[in-house]
Amino acid sequence: MSAPAHAHGHDDHDVSKFQIYVQIALLLAVITGVEIIAVYLPFAKWILVTSLVVLSTVKFMFVIFYFMHLRWDKPFCTVMFFIGLVLAAGTMWGLLALFGAEASLPLPT
């Protein structure tokens, strides 16, 4: 008797995860809509850029923690993910600084 009850509890757990995924997908769609609308509103550039960066960061965190399952993974895996993310961001910023410098521009002819 306990086996079907346990299986039913497992199904409820799967349904609740499915509902969480659907709710997060809807939230991500709403945030994306807000980002698209915000671009066309007459705000100062720094307010617009700041709000878009914050909204994009929120979306990124939802995606990595729920859809990439970092929320249910071991903390070590999450730490390793963020170490890789910091290294990639540092490399990107370093390359942008290197190739954005005036010294890397071609000489005028």
105 or 17, which is more confident: 17
- The predicted model scores a pTM of 0.68
Q: Which residue has the higher pLDDT, 104 or 36?
A: 36
Grade residue 106 by pLDDT with cuts at 50, 70 and 90: confident
Taking only the tens place, the pLDDT of each residue in 34-65 is 999 999 999 999 999 999 999 999 999 999 98
Query: Euclidean distance between the first and final Cα of the chain, in Å?
Result: 86
Cα atoms in the 13 Å half-sphere on the side-chain side of 53: 6
Q: Model confidence at 10, in pLDDT bands (50, 70, 90)?
A: low
Q: At 27, is the secondary structure helix, strand, or coil?
A: helix
> How far apart are the C-alpha atoms of 101 and 105, rounded to whole Å?
7
